Amino acid sequence: MAEAVAAALRRAGNPGRSGHVLSTRSARDLFLARERLAELFGGGDSSRFVFTGNATAALNQAIKGVLRPGDHVVTTSVEHNSVMRPLRRMVDAGVGITVVPAGEDGVTDPLSVVAAFRKETRMVSLVHASNVSGALQPVGRVAAEARKRGILTLVDAAQTAGAVPIDLRGLPVDLLAASGHKGLLGPQGTGFLYVREGVRIVPLIEGGTGSRSESDRQPVFFPDALESGTQNSVGIAGLAVSLGWLLRKGVDTIRRKEEEITARLLEGMARIPGVRLFGPQDPSLSVAVVSFLVEGMDPAETGRRLEKGYGILVRAGLHCSPNGHRTLGTFPNGTVRVSPGPFTTRAEIETFLSALRRIRRLSG
Ligand X SMILES: Cc1ncc(COP(=O)(O)O)c(C=O)c1O
Query: What is the SS3 assignment for 343?
Result: coil
Total interface residues for ligand X by CB under 6 A? 12
Question: Residue 19 or 229: which CB sits closer to ligand X?
Answer: 229
From the list 23, 26, 46, 56, which residue makes contact with ligand X (rule: CB under 6 A)?
A: 56
Strands 152-156 and 175-179: parallel
As to burial, measured by CB atoms within 10 angstroms (0-12 exposed, 13-18 middle, 19+ buried), residue 180 is buried
Cα 53 to Cα 56: distance, rounded to the nearest angstrom: 8
Residue 122: phi and psi, rounded to 5, are -105, -30
CB of 137 to ligand X, least distance (A): 10
Return all residues near 250 (Cβ < 8 A) that are at least 6 apart: none
Q: Is 155 in the site for ligand X (CB under 6 A)?
A: no
Q: Is 67 in the site for ligand X (CB under 6 A)?
A: no
CA distances from 186 to 48, 204, 213 (A): 20, 24, 31
Per-residue interface string for the shown chain with ligand X, residues 81-120, x marking contact by CB under 6 A: -x--------------------------------------
As to burial, measured by CB atoms within 10 angstroms (0-12 exposed, 13-18 middle, 19+ buried), residue 193 is buried
CB of 324 to ligand X, least distance (A): 9
Q: Is 127 in the site for ligand X (CB under 6 A)?
A: yes
CB of 53 to ligand X, least distance (A): 8
From the list 179, 231, 233, 242, which residue makes contact with ligand X (rule: CB under 6 A)?
A: 179
Q: Is 80 in the site for ligand X (CB under 6 A)?
A: yes
Q: Is 158 in the site for ligand X (CB under 6 A)?
A: yes
What are the strands of the beta sheet with 335-338, ordered from one edge?
275-278, 290-294, 335-338, 315-317
Q: Is 52 in the site for ligand X (CB under 6 A)?
A: no
Q: Is 55 in the site for ligand X (CB under 6 A)?
A: yes
Beta bridge partners of 315: 337
CB of 68 to ligand X, least distance (A): 23
Residues that bind ligand X (CB under 6 A): 54-56, 80, 82, 127, 131, 156, 158-159, 179, 191
